Copies of this chain bind each other. A is one copy, B any other.
Amino acid sequence: MLESNRNIQSLELLFKPRNVVIYRVSKAVDFFVKGFKRQGFNLEKLYLISPKEDSFLGLKCYKTFDEIPVETIDLVILSIRRDLLIQTLQEVLSKKKIHFIHIFTAGTGEFDDIGMEIERNLKKILEDYSNTRSIGPNCMGIYSPQGKTAYYSSFPVEPGNIGLIFQSGDLHSKMIKFGSRRYNLCFSIGVSIGNCVDIQISEILSYLNEDDNTDVICVYFEGISPFHKNEGKKLLEVLRKIKKPVLFMRGGKTERGQTAVLSHTGSMATKKNIWNAIYKQTPIIEVPSSLDDLIDIVYLFSNYFNRYKKLKKKIEYPINKRSLVILWSGGFGILATDMLIELGLEVPHFKGETLKKLNEIYPIRVGSLSNPLDLPFVTYQKELVEVTKAAIDENISLVLLETDAWKNIEGERFKGYYKNLLEIKDYVENQNKIFVIILHQYPSESRKIFSDMLLKDNFLVYPSLEAAAKSFLKLYEYGEEVRNSKKS
By a beta-carbon cutoff of 8 Å, the part of chain A in contact with chain B is 106-107, 110-111, 166-172, 174, 178, 181-182, 220, 222, 249, 251-254, 256-257, 259-261, 263-265, 288-292, 328-335, 337-339, 341-342, 347, 349, 365-366, 368, 370, 372, 374, 440-444, 447-448, 451, 464, 466
* Closest residue on chain B to residue A192 by CB atoms: B331
Distance between A419 CB and nearest chain B CB, rounded to angstroms? 23
Task: Using known A-B contacts A338-B289, A444-B181, determine if residue A106 contacts B366 with beta carbons closer than 8 Å.
Answer: yes
Task: Using known A-B contacts A341-B254, A443-B448, determine if residue A167 contacts B331 with beta carbons closer than 8 Å.
Answer: yes
A-B contact pairs, 22 of them (CB 8 A): A106-B366, A107-B366, A110-B330, A166-B331, A169-B331, A170-B329, A170-B332, A171-B329, A171-B335, A172-B331, A174-B440, A178-B442, A182-B442, A220-B331, A251-B334, A252-B334, A256-B347, A259-B349, A260-B334, A263-B368, A263-B374, A289-B335
Cα separation A290 to B182 with both chains bound (whole Å):
21
A347 / chain B contacts, CB cutoff of 8 Å? 256
Q: Which of B168, B329, B333, B466 interacts with A332 by CB under 8 Å?
A: B168
Q: Are A292 and B464 in contact (CB under 8 A)?
A: yes
Cα separation A102 to B464 with both chains bound (whole Å):
32
Q: Are B168 and A330 in contact (CB under 8 A)?
A: yes
Q: Are A168 and B289 in contact (CB under 8 A)?
A: no
Q: Are B331 and A264 in contact (CB under 8 A)?
A: yes
Cα separation A169 to B367 with both chains bound (whole Å):
13
Q: Are B365 and A334 in contact (CB under 8 A)?
A: no
Distance between A103 CB and nearest chain B CB, rounded to angstroms? 14
A291 / chain B contacts, CB cutoff of 8 Å? 332, 335
Cα separation A261 to B334 with both chains bound (whole Å):
6
Cα separation A102 to B372 with both chains bound (whole Å):
27
Q: Which of B111, B169, B256, B448 interacts with A349 by CB under 8 Å?
A: B256
A442 / chain B contacts, CB cutoff of 8 Å? 178, 181-182
Q: Are A170 and B252 in contact (CB under 8 A)?
A: no
17 additional contacts (CB under 8 A) given A170-B329, A171-B332, A443-B447 = A106-B366, A111-B366, A166-B331, A168-B330, A168-B334, A169-B331, A170-B328, A172-B331, A174-B332, A181-B442, A256-B349, A257-B338, A263-B330, A263-B370, A441-B441, A443-B448, A443-B451
Cα separation A20 to B481 with both chains bound (whole Å):
62
A111 / chain B contacts, CB cutoff of 8 Å? 365-366
Cα separation A347 to B255 with both chains bound (whole Å):
11
Distance between A382 CB and nearest chain B CB, rounded to angstroms? 21
